[in-house]
């Protein structure tokens, strides 16, 4: 029997991966996967993962915590210093920010996003 409070084991939750749109890929052949595990007051909570490679992105509103992996996020617009991601890093992204993700070790995070952004 599963505990009624358990959403998922975020480190081992299986994720179905898909390739990125070719227009986003800067280097490599990265894939990503997302699985929602719950909702709370208009936000969706889920687990996201990206395999090694580099992609450009336009962000949605999001708060996430890295569980595993390693990456660097470059902030193109608005310009800001790069951010190194590693387990334990807690990040707030804002809608419309343009970024470039360089993942060196498969990155897995727990994310909280407004439902309409998914």
Whether the bond between 78 and the residue before it is cis, its omega within 30 degrees of 0, is yes
Is residue 117 helix, strand or coil?
helix
**The predicted structure's pLDDT at residue 117:** 55
What is the rounded distance in angstroms from the CA atom of residue 57 to the CA atom of residue 86? 19
The answer as to whether 5 is a domain residue is no
Total domains, the chain: 1
Mean pLDDT on 100-108: 98
The answer as to whether 1 is a domain residue is no
Examine the pLDDT at 1 and tell me if it is beyond 60: no
The answer as to whether 4 is a domain residue is no
Average pLDDT, whole number, for the chain? 94
Cβ atoms of 7 and 38 within 8 Å: the answer is yes
Residue 63: CATH number of its domain? 2.60.120.10
Alpha helices in the chain (DSSP H): none
The answer as to whether 82 is a domain residue is yes
Which tens digits make up the pLDDT trace of 46-65? 999 999 999 999 999 999 99
Answer with the residue of higher pLDDT: 40 or 69.
Answer: 69
The answer as to whether 3 is a domain residue is no
Q: Determine if the pTM surpasses 0.85.
A: yes
The answer as to whether 6 is a domain residue is no
42: tokens are 């208009």
Domain span at residue 43? 18-117
């Amino acid at each position: 029997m599963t505990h009624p409070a358990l959403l998922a084991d975020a480190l081992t939750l299986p994720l179905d991966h898909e390739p990125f749109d070719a227009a986003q890929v800067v280097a490599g052949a990265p894939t990503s996967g997302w699985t929602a595990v719950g909702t709370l007051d208009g936000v969706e909570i889920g687990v996201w993962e990206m395999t090694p490679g580099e992609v450009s992105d336009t962000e949605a509103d999001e708060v996430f915590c890295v569980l595993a992996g390693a990456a660097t996020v470059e902030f193109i617009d608005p310009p800001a210093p790069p951010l190194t991601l590693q387990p334990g890093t807690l990040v707030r992204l804002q809608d419309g920010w343009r970024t470039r993700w360089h993942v060196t070790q498969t990155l897995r995070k727990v994310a909280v996003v407004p439902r309409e952004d998914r």
